[in-house]
Structure 1
Amino acid sequence: MDSFTAGMLVEHASLGPGKVIAAKGDMLHVFFPSRNGHAATRIKLDPKRPLLRPAARQSDPWLDHLPPFVLKDGTYQLAHERLTQPQAIGHFKQVFPLGFNDPAYEGNLQTGERHYKVAAHKAFNEAFGGGKAEQLLAEGKVAELTHRLLHIDAKTNLLHPNWDKAPLRDGLKDEQAAERFHRTLFALLALPEPTQSAFEDFVGALDALPAPGSAVATWPVTTVFLYLAQPDRHMFFRPKYTQEAAQRLGYELNYAPHPNWRTYSSLHGFSRLLLEELKPLGARDFIDVQSFIYVTAGGSGYDK
């Protein structure tokens, strides 16, 4: 009979892939993503009916990032209620029956979920693409960079007017700090994939923006322009909804309130996985993933 240890990935004859959460003698506690609920399944090993075997591959993009389990009434459970991926997709289709091709999802500049964000993305490229940002930086036109950036932000309501927009606007009035902000932002955007050093340089520039009494480096401010510039590479992070969705889907975001690389790289991995899962529904980029996250977190209607 095969030997099983906590942390091992396994295959069940009918339940499919799972992860051993605890192993006590011949009693295993195994979490199977295919099963409804948030508890591990108790399985008593029986050499006469070997339904369980170690998985051929000991790595899985979802099972490798499960949140911690707690022992309650003899059962190992996730701390939050959980949706299976089919359940989450079903919930999304209750709101948008045609998925990401639903006209109500696409919307326009006043309604819907996608169109206004795509418009802001196009405006970002028009304002800064083709080397325009680098040229403005080289010419020392920091105020013009700031003006263009805030004009693009005004096309969306992704940032809260008091908690995010006001501190950012105040902080960017300091030209020296604003120059560092723009330089690190566009350096990060110039990379094919985000790196820890470039991300941390950008967060440091946000922290240096002077806005007495307020924190500029919130997660929404840190991620919004990256997202609008490159929605195929960067994700917008609104902690309330994103944490709730990740908990419901059983993915550990390693969240900390101050922007940091560990959380952002976890968000990046979560978003990539969701994008692959949602492509059959018509998902194209992280704009669609963000909308799915909002609905999965309990949002109804549009993120407007």
Structure 2
Amino acid sequence: MADLKEGMLVQHASLGVGKVVALEPNAVHVFFPDSEKRFAAKLRLPAARALLSTDGLERNSWLEGLSSFALDAQSGRYALAANFLTHEEAVAEFQALYPQGFADPAYAASGKRERAARWRAASAAWKEAFASGEGARLADEGEVGELVKRIARSAPLSALFDPVLEEDGIAEVFEDEASARSFFDALFSLLSVPVPARARFDKLFAAAAGLAVAPASSWALATAFPLLADPSRHVVLWPKSTRAAAERLGCDLRYDAAPNWATYTSLRAFATQLRERLAPLGAQDFVDVEVFLNVVAAARRPQPAAAAADSATARPRRTR
């Protein structure tokens, strides 16, 4: 077989297909999803080589995408997050809220708590405010005040961003005209092409970091506006919920507090894969992915079947 390398897939004679997550001089750590455990197996070298093969393995995008492994000091083994969810467990959590998946009537329902409806309303408001190239025209002409006014006076847009910006409103965020102009120039430059290259994202990320907001708000402003403009192409990163959900699903986003290309591309690859896996439930775009990740971030760790059965059959304790 080929030399063992971190990240490669291998076939074990009895444990099935796994992913090499770490190498030591005398051991290889391999995660086997069929074991239904979050810990990678620690296999001793050189004996393990006779049991591992790389011949004839098919690609497994989900397993290859698992990257959020950390060394557990107590056990000496590499493990996913303690609250790790398999894709199937995450889908079960989502369907507990929306039994019919993304086609469930409750999913598309309007209301303050219905996340998908708020995203759709905000996206429609954005497209109406900046239809027919209006955003690019205003940015080219330096009409920062008009750009901010159109965003601030839109109830759906304000409802989406008010919780993120906390005490500052949209108008306060873009109060400095020079930094606001840099941001809108970069934003509409990115939105003007079907497939923006890295340079346009780098320019937008730098402009967002230059606004007088907290890092969490920088990420939101840099990624939420593109998603509103085109939910089929762009992804959004909320530093708390998106990171938490990605970690629970085994993905390391290589997160940094300042908006950056490495983190964004990690998220985009993860979200693209997730959208494909959620298509059977009716997921169509990255708004659906964002809502799914928000559910995953808040979900409780499912109980093992045996523990759940014991809990259900246990006699209640008497209270005094």
Which of 149, 152, 160 is equivalent to 1:150? 152
Cα distance in 2 between the residues matched to 1:107 and 1:17: 42
Offset at 1:266?
A: 0.9
Partner of 1:190: 192
Cα distance in 2 between the residues matched to 1:167 and 1:252: 32
Cα distance in 2 between the residues matched to 1:11 and 1:152: 55
Where do residues 138-177 of structure 1 align in structure 2 (5 Å cutoff)? 138-152=140-154, 154-155=156-157, 157-161=159-163, 163=165, 166=168, 168-177=170-179
The structure with the largest helix share of the pair is 2
Partner of 1:70: 71
Contact map agreement 2:139 2:185 (CA 8 A) in 1: yes
Where do residues 95-244 of structure 1 align in structure 2 (5 Å cutoff)? 95-152=97-154, 154-155=156-157, 157-161=159-163, 163=165, 166=168, 168-209=170-211, 218-244=218-244
Where do residues 267-282 of structure 1 align in structure 2 (5 Å cutoff)? 267-282=267-282
Partner of 2:10: 10
Offset at 1:107?
A: 0.9
Unaligned runs of at least 5 residues, structure 1: none
Contact map agreement 2:151 2:170 (CA 8 A) in 1: no
Partner of 2:306: none
Cα distance in 2 between the residues matched to 1:256 and 1:88: 25
Cα distance in 2 between the residues matched to 1:163 and 1:296: 23
Q: Does 1:249 align with 2:243?
A: no
Contact map agreement 1:177 1:205 (CA 8 A) in 2: yes
Cα deviation code 1:180-210 (max 9, x no counterpart): 2211111111232343221121122233335
Partner of 1:40: 40
Cα distance in 2 between the residues matched to 1:86 and 1:8: 23
Normalising by the residue count of structure 2, what TM-score does the alignment of the two structures yield?
Answer: 0.79
Cα distance change, pair 156–43 in 1 and its aligned pair in 2 (3 A): farther
Contact map agreement 2:164 2:220 (CA 8 A) in 1: no
| Local SS of the residue matching 2:153 | helix
Unaligned runs of at least 5 residues, structure 2: 301-320
Partner of 1:84: 86
Offset at 1:58?
A: 8.8
| Local SS of the residue matching 2:53 | strand
Partner of 1:295: 295
Cα distance change, pair 144–160 in 1 and its aligned pair in 2 (3 A): closer
Cα distance in 1 between the residues matched to 2:221 and 2:23: 44
* Identity level (%): 36
Normalising by the residue count of structure 1, what TM-score does the alignment of the two structures yield?
Answer: 0.83
* Letter of the 2:179 counterpart: A
| Local SS of the residue matching 1:76 | strand
Offset at 1:68?
A: 3.3
Partner of 2:286: 286
Aligned residues between the structures: 298
Contact map agreement 1:28 1:45 (CA 8 A) in 2: yes
RMSD: 3.3
